[in-house]
Amino acid sequence: MSINWYDGIVVGVDGSAESLAALEWAARASDLHEASLTVVAAYGVPITPDPGIGGLIGEMRAQARGAADTAHEWLAEHRADDRVHAQHAEIDVVQGDAAYELGRRSRTCGLVVVGRRGLGRIDRVVLGSTSATLAATAPGAVAVVPAGASTGDPRRIRVGVGLHDEPDVLGAAFAEAAARGRPLEVVHVTDADALSSSFPEMDPIAASWREAAKADLADRVARWSEKYPEVSCTIVVGRGDPATVLLRGLTPDDLVVVGGRRHQPLWGRMLRSVPDAVLRGAPCTVLVAHAHRRSASVPPGGNEAEEDSP
């Protein structure tokens, strides 16, 4: 099945177990969507002048080459036992910061995939990793595969949507659900204050607003359901903190899709956005569907020139 949104998949590797998990997830996705696969191993170059910098660069290049060789061996082994095909796979060793190089490729590919190591206490507060940087600043979609997450087909797919999401969010979720043959859960969360939470009958205006929001969401979902009639879809309208509601009940066998407006590198990491909180807390793969200005998906009857309108 070919999905326009996946105009090639790029995965970053560094030889770690987490990056190999990302490679497996990316290879399976490339098979499902009949997309090309590019494996990138990047090595940074120190900017501080030093007499021994030449040897250091050579060592870093060798490490990146080793990561690329490991990825090549993994693909060959898994092709042999028919676990993945990835027939159109390329492997590149590039000089430069991994987040920058992968982000640059995000401008012209459909999806960038990276792994994420387990988070300690400090990491959960300041997530300054390649995965966090890409999720916050990449021009296109990014899938982050955390340590311990399943790399096979998910048990279910959950997507979080707001009132004014780019079409990429629902489009990505429906495309994945269709390709993987899994049910889709569309979640919208409204704020809850103490009074209306305790006495909802005393807040008819809020109740009316929630019903209107649910009706609007149902209309948007219906348009995507027309394009993907094979997808079993459930709409859930929750109340409370959006990230908390989205994370509730997730397992390593799920896939969660969130939207994300791109930020500048510094603010992208500092802002405690919903995608950021989900990335920190999700035990499963997180797909951050940024609006891709080059080739955003639009639902039936939609206008490609109006990408920001659902």
pLDDT tens sequence across 133-173: 888 888 889 999 999 999 999 999 999 998 765 677 999 99
The residues facing 6 across adjacent strands are: none
Residue 69's nearest CA partner among 99, 93, 44, 86 is 93
- At residue 118, what are phi and psi to the nearest 5 degrees? -60, 145
For residue 41, pLDDT over 60 is answered with yes
What does the alpha-carbon distance between residue 218 and residue 200 come to, in Å, rounded to a whole number? 22
For residue 262, pLDDT over 60 is answered with no
What does the alpha-carbon distance between residue 138 and residue 100 come to, in Å, rounded to a whole number? 9
Which pLDDT does position 9 carry in this prediction?
Answer: 94
What does the alpha-carbon distance between residue 13 and residue 4 come to, in Å, rounded to a whole number? 25
For residue 66, pLDDT over 60 is answered with yes
Mean pLDDT, residues 199-212 taken together: 66
Residue 278's nearest CA partner among 246, 304, 302, 240 is 246
DSSP 165: -
Q: Which two tokens stand for residue 176?
A: 């994945």
For residue 306, pLDDT over 90 is answered with no
Between residues 12 and 132, the one the model is more confident about: 12
DSSP 46: -
Helix axes 167-180 and 17-33, enclosed angle (nearest 10): 80
- Give the strand pairing for 9-12 and 184-190: unpaired
Amino acid making up residue 160:
G
Asked if residue 260 lies in contact with residue 161, where contact means CB atoms within 8 angstroms, the answer is: no
For residue 305, pLDDT over 70 is answered with no
Helix axes 274-281 and 130-137, enclosed angle (nearest 10): 150
Which pLDDT does position 250 carry in this prediction?
Answer: 97
pLDDT averaged over every residue in the chain: 80
For residue 272, pLDDT over 80 is answered with no
Which pLDDT does position 122 carry in this prediction?
Answer: 39
Asked if residue 276 lies in contact with residue 127, where contact means CB atoms within 8 angstroms, the answer is: yes
Which pLDDT does position 4 carry in this prediction?
Answer: 52
Which pLDDT does position 276 carry in this prediction?
Answer: 86
Q: What share of the chain is helix, strand, coil (3-state, %, to 5)?
A: 45, 20, 40
Asked if residue 163 lies in contact with residue 285, where contact means CB atoms within 8 angstroms, the answer is: no
Q: Which two tokens stand for residue 14?
A: 């560094």
Between residues 102 and 270, the one the model is more confident about: 102
Asked if residue 305 lies in contact with residue 163, where contact means CB atoms within 8 angstroms, the answer is: no
Of 49-58, 100-109, 148-157, the range with the lowest mean pLDDT is 49-58
Which pLDDT does position 75 carry in this prediction?
Answer: 92
CATH topology of domain 9-289: Rossmann fold (3.40.50)
Which pLDDT does position 68 carry in this prediction?
Answer: 95
Q: State the greatest distance between any 2 C-alpha atoms of the chain, in Å, as a whole number.
A: 74
For residue 208, pLDDT over 80 is answered with no
Which pLDDT does position 203 carry in this prediction?
Answer: 63
Mean pLDDT, residues 2-23 taken together: 84
What does the alpha-carbon distance between residue 116 and residue 107 come to, in Å, rounded to a whole number? 22
Write out pLDDT tens, residues 180-192: 999 999 999 876 6
* pTM of the predicted model as reported, rounded to 2 decimal places: 0.83
Amino acid making up residue 108:
T
DSSP 143: E
Between residues 290 and 145, the one the model is more confident about: 145
For residue 303, pLDDT over 70 is answered with no
Asked if residue 290 lies in contact with residue 262, where contact means CB atoms within 8 angstroms, the answer is: yes
Q: What angle is formed at CA 100 by the lines to CA 132 and CA 139, rounded to 5 degrees?
A: 70
Which pLDDT does position 157 carry in this prediction?
Answer: 98
Domain boundaries, the chain: 9-289
